[in-house]
Chain A
Amino acid sequence: MRTTLSLLVAGVVLLAALPALLSAGLLIASIQMLIAALFASAYGMLSGRAGMLSFGHAAYFGLGAFATVHAMNAFGGSGLLPTPLMPLVGAGAGLAVGIAAGWFATQRSGTTFAMITLAIAELLHALAPQLKGLFGGESGLSTMRAPAWGLAFGSTIQVYYLTLAWVLLALGLLYFHSRTPAGRLTLALRENAHRLRFLGYDVHGLGVSAFAISAMFSGLAGGLQALSNEAANYAVFDAGVSATVVLNSYIGGVGSFLGPALGAALMTFFGYAVSDATQSWLLYQGVLFVLVMMFAPAGLSGLFGAGARLVERTGWRRAAGVAALVAGAALLLAAGGVFAVEMLQRLCSHDYRALAQAAAGWPAIPLLGRPWSPAAASTWLLPAALLACGGVLTVAARRRFGSAA
Chain B
Amino acid sequence: MSDVSDEPILRIRGLRKSFGPVEIIRGVDLELRAGERHALIGPNGAGKSTLFHLISGNLRPSAGEIVLDGQRIDGWSPQRVNRSGLARSFQITNIFPKLTVFENVRIAVMQRHRLQYNVWRRIERMGAIREETGRLLERVRLQQQAATLGGEMSYSGQRSLELAMTLASDPQVVLLDEPMAGMSSEETQYTAALIREVTAGRTLLLVEHDMDVVFSLGERISVLVYGQLVATGTPAEIRSHRGVREAYLGEEHEA
Q: Which residues of A contact B (CB under 8 A)?
A: 176-177, 179-185, 187-188, 191-192, 194-203, 205-206, 209, 213
Contacts and interface: CB of A to CB of B under 8 A. Distances in A.
Contacts of B78: 197-198
A195 B118 contact: no
Contact of B96 (A192, A197, A203, A205): A192
B99 A191 contact: yes
B79 A181 contact: no
A183 B103 CA distance: 12
Given A179-B122, A195-B96, 9 more contacts: A182-B119, A184-B103, A184-B107, A191-B97, A191-B99, A199-B169, A201-B111, A202-B116, A209-B117
Given A192-B96, A199-B165, A180 B123 contact: yes
Contact of A187 (B82, B99, B122): B99
A182 B117 contact: yes
B124 interface: yes
Interface string B106-135: 111011100111111111101000000000
B136 interface: no
Given A180-B119, A181-B115, A199-B165, A188 B82 contact: no
B123 A181 contact: yes
B118 A202 contact: no
Nearest to B89: A198
A198 B120 contact: no
Given A180-B119, A201-B116, A202-B79, A185 B88 contact: no
Nearest to B106: A184
23 contacts: A179-B122, A179-B124, A180-B118, A180-B120, A181-B110, A181-B123, A182-B116, A182-B117, A183-B119, A184-B123, A185-B110, A187-B98, A191-B99, A192-B97, A195-B94, A198-B56, A198-B94, A199-B108, A199-B165, A200-B79, A200-B111, A200-B112, A202-B79
Which of under 10, 10 to 19, 20 to 34, or 35 or more describes the interface residues of B? Answer: 35 or more
Nearest to A185: B116
A180 B165 CA distance: 20
Contact of A181 (B90, B96, B118): B118
A183 to B, nearest CB: 7
Given A200-B82, A202-B116, A176 B95 contact: no
Contacts of B110: 181, 184-185
B196 interface: no
A180 B122 contact: yes
Contacts of B189: none
A184 B102 CA distance: 12
A198 B103 contact: no
Contacts of B119: 177, 180, 182-183, 213
What 4 A-B pairs have minimum CB-CB distances, sorted nearest first? A200-B82, A181-B115, A191-B96, A197-B78
A179 B103 CA distance: 12
Contacts of B169: 199-200
B138 to A, nearest CB: 20
B116 A199 contact: no
Contact of A200 (B83, B90, B97): B83
A199 B94 contact: no
Interface in B78-94: 78-79, 82-83, 87-88, 90, 94
B82 A181 contact: no
A213 to B, nearest CB: 7
Listed residue (B82, B107, B122) with the most chain A CB atoms within 10 angstroms of its CB: B107
B98 A180 contact: no
A198 B106 CA distance: 15
B82 A199 contact: yes
B145 interface: no
A50 to B, nearest CB: 13
B18 interface: no
A192 B94 contact: yes
A222 to B, nearest CB: 21
